[in-house]
Amino acid sequence: MQYVNLGRSGLKVSRLCLGTMNFGYVTDVPESFRIMDEAVDNGINFFDTADVYGGPQRPDMEKGFGTSEEIIGRWLEKSGKRNDLVIATKCYQPMGLGPNDRRLSAYHIRKACEDSLRRLKTDHIDLYQMHHIDRFTPWEEIWQAMELLVQQGKIIYVGSSNFAGWNIAAAQGIANCRHFLGLVSEQSLYNLSVRDIELEVIPACRYFGLGILPWSPLAGGLLGGMLKGELGMRRSELKGEAEKIRPQLERYEALCERLGEPPAVVALAWLLHNPDVSSPIIGPSTVAQLKQNLQSLDIKLSDEILRELNDIWPGPGGEAPEAYAW
């Protein structure tokens, strides 16, 4: 396994992060335990979850909320591996029907953190991430709440997720004024087929020293061998989306076949080739999928292949403003 610093921090994380959104929802407890065992055996030291993971992410369907964290907590207790791992979770999403059961008020951040600690059966969270920008809470309030959690030893680092470039700049500007480290990572939707963050989020992360943690690196499965039926149950769910981009998928899967590599492996290898990317978040629902994802660490893509991938999946044209102006 390869390890890199998470952004400008001194924290070392594995080049692949184990995403656990499927735990307790798509993947049952025994298989979730086997996936975590296999991940650790292969050197993955970085687990990502969220308080809302484990079921339908809707405030009127509370069943499943917190299940992913609970499964991880049970596994940590059983395995004794807590001190070997970087555990990341998130807050913001609705965790109940009350008006203060969501977003990033100091009130909710404190309660959400306490609840996550209890479910994870740990005394601290290594990376506490804001799941979305909160347009209704001032940064002074958010940073005060996060600073207190750091002082109390309940969290170590703070990260963001789904932030725009200017959100990152605003957050860091105020953190700097408070002499606080601020954000060390940004978790964004990023894959071969969805490259919007190349415009402003990646440049902002590079400037402020945030590690990038791409979520949905396989575009929900579309880049995982969709046309050849390598996705099993997910294939029928994605059929409509696949038809919209069938010509690209056909070219992509043909290229992967020529390389002799599974499409999922090539998609992950493309992300790993980007020096701004710290650790793509993989979300295997089986041990077999995890083992395939691990193969991406050994794949080196030539400049020629990278150009071909860029031709199949063109991005926004570079960074802003050159991508659309001069």
- Active-site residue numbers? 53
Q: How far apart are CA 284 and CA 262, in angstroms?
A: 15
What DSSP string runs through 209-239? Answer: TPEEEEE-TTGGGTTTTTTTTTTTTHHHHHH
Cβ contacts of 289-293, under 8 Å, gap ≥ 24: 289/264, 290/18, 290/35, 290/38, 290/39, 291/38, 292/262, 292/264, 292/265, 293/16, 293/264, 293/265, 293/268
Cα end-to-end distance, the chain, whole Å: 41
Which secondary-structure segment (H or E) carries 158? Answer: strand 155-161
The number of helix segments (H) and strand segments (E) in the chain equals 11, 10
Total number of residues shown for the chain: 326
Strands (E), 6-101: 12-14, 17-19, 46-48, 86-91
Task: Respond yes or no on whether the N-terminal peptide bond of residue 314 is cis (omega within 30° of 0).
Answer: no
